[in-house]
Amino acid sequence: MENPLKKTGKVLSLTAGMVLASAFVAPSASAAAFAYHGYDVAYTSYYDRGLVACDKEKDGNYVYAEGRYWHPSNQVMVLRVDDGEDEHCDNDYITYPIYQIRICESRVGCSPWRQVS
């Protein structure tokens, strides 16, 4: 008959190893922030350094996304991504993290600025 302590010891060492390994897991990518104007949407990607604009309405209005970010010269800059009137999303990337986004539609207006986490 096998010693029950041997099984317990294996389970304990396996559990301790799993706990130790989980302490060193790399952090995951930040969650995307979203801004909506009707069905049109803007969102961040690539660790908040990417901005995506999606025209989801077939209404003939032109759509673009704007993202605010801090430039090292202590200036607030705005990245603009134009989507036009097609059904595909367009995107762009910058070096600095975006801290606010909004989606705008020609002849209709813009969503409120949304804070990026």
pLDDT (tens digit per residue) in 7-53: 544 443 433 443 333 333 333 455 789 999 999 999 999 999 999 99
Residues 56, 37: Cα–Cα separation, whole Å: 10
Q: What is the pTM of this model?
A: 0.72
CB 82 within 8 A of CB 53: yes
**Strands across the sheet with 90-93, in order?**
34-37, 40-45, 50-54, 90-93
pLDDT at 2: 56
Residue 77's identity, in one-letter code, is M
Token pair in block for residue 100: 């606010």
Residue 100's identity, in one-letter code, is Q
- In eight-state DSSP terms, residue 46 is T
Domain 34-115 has CATH 2.60.40: yes
